[in-house]
Copies of this chain bind each other. A is one copy, B any other.
Amino acid sequence: MINIAILGHGVVGSGVAEVLHRNGQSIAHKAGDSIAIKRILDLRTFPDLPYADRFTTSFDDIVNDGDIRIVVETMGGLHPAYEYVKACLLAGKSVVTSNKELVAAKGDELLAIARENNLNFLFEASVGGGIPILRPLDQCLAANEVTEIAGILNGTTNFMLTRMVQDGMEFDEALSLAQSLGYAERNPSADVDGHDACRKICILASLAFGKHVYPEQVYTEGIGAITLTDVQYAAACGHVIKLIGRVVRRDGKIHCLVSPMLVPDSSLLSDVNDVFNAIMVRGDAIGDVVFYGRGAGKLPTASAVVADVIDEVKHLKARKYLCWEPAVPDYLLKHGDYETAALVQFETDDPAALRGELAAQLGEVREVTYDDAPADRVAVLMPSMTEQALTQALDAISHGKAVSRIRVADL
């Protein structure tokens, strides 16, 4: 029998306890040993649970208990999760976490401590919730040069964008609906501003390309500025708007960003709707592979955590594979050097003069319009150029002001 502890009995932690309790027999069969929850750390008590007697409010009860071999961290947030996980690893316990903020900020350090102590530190649930992605990515990586990863990594914003595209809802209405359904927090910044997606693409980039990428290194743009006008222009040229986290390797450097992007209707990612997530991995031998499923939620996320726990039980004396090195300088391409096509909307008093100026400056550009498009707008698909060059080109236009600029993803 292997004793474990759970730090935090919130949505995910309670799901982990529930799955371990409910499917205990088949899990024991899979793990080759039974798994007992010895302690659950939470300030609250849950007297009606069959394992009510395992609750404690003291972390010391867990870190100092030599019988506890594996600790599951599902508290979320950076502190005290970081201090607790580090203390558990230093005390000789393997750790499983679903905490993307922790892994994105401290993954390199915690992986190094785990390695030095011949322990495992696994975090499948931190990206894509229940979707198996980190292990399959590791498998793709084994025989492939992976060149790119791109995905819809945040279910809340994908739900909101789906409502805007399919139901013509305004942003604020879509946000209210997401909040009323429990998909968005009262303070929705982590989702809406792209921070959650950024943490996930950092974890994927670190694993795929071998060196830690920190969220603060990554250009991150949320969906707060997306309007129904944007959605309609996108539809008019055969695209939908999705919040995409993307990392590309080119010439030994990587470029990583989070941004709303126009995804062509022909791409599988364009059909990933509501709270679903999908992650595309592009490799030299394998081509494109996509992993799709529920990126959040109590039971999907808990099932990924429990799969990691089972893996750690099976490898109590051996190291698992997931690993990367500390960050190095000059590893990330400057955002200004990133090349992308873009859909740009200009506000103008003189559409004819603007069209003439665009043609003179940029040669042939493709104009996009739709029935009932605002009369004072001209929207064009700008050809691929660097972010810096695009900014300069837009600044140089005198007969109109660029009021919206959305990257086009060639996915």
Contacts and interface: CB of A to CB of B under 8 A. Distances in A.
Interface of A: 15, 19, 23, 26-27, 30-31, 124, 130-132, 135-136, 139-145, 268, 271-272, 283-294, 297, 299-300, 302-304, 306-307, 310-311, 321
Contact of A143 (B27, B289, B291): B27
A124 B143 CA distance: 13
A287 B274 CA distance: 14
Contacts of A321: 30
Contacts of A145: 23, 26
A196 to B, nearest CB: 20
A124 to B, nearest CB: 8
Given A142-B307, A268-B268, 8 more contacts: A23-B145, A139-B307, A143-B306, A268-B272, A287-B297, A287-B300, A291-B291, A292-B292
B271 A143 contact: no
B130 A286 contact: yes
Given A30-B142, A145-B23, A287 B292 contact: no
Nearest to A30: B142
14 contacts: A15-B285, A23-B143, A23-B145, A27-B142, A136-B136, A139-B307, A140-B307, A268-B271, A284-B299, A287-B294, A287-B297, A288-B294, A289-B291, A289-B294
Contact of A292 (B124, B130, B268): B268
Interface of A is mostly: helix
A132 B289 contact: yes
A139 B132 contact: yes
B286 A294 contact: yes
A293 B294 contact: no
Contacts of A290: 290-293
Given A23-B145, A143-B19, A143-B27, A130 B303 contact: no
A141 B23 contact: no
A130 B136 CA distance: 11
Contacts of A292: 268, 289-292
Contacts of A139: 124, 132, 135, 307
A303 B286 contact: yes
Contact of A285 (B124, B289, B299, B310): B299
A293 B300 contact: no
Nearest to A306: B143
A167 to B, nearest CB: 15
B143 A310 contact: yes
Nearest to A290: B292
A283 B30 CA distance: 16
Contacts of A272: 268
A143 B302 contact: yes
B285 A302 contact: yes
Nearest to A289: B293
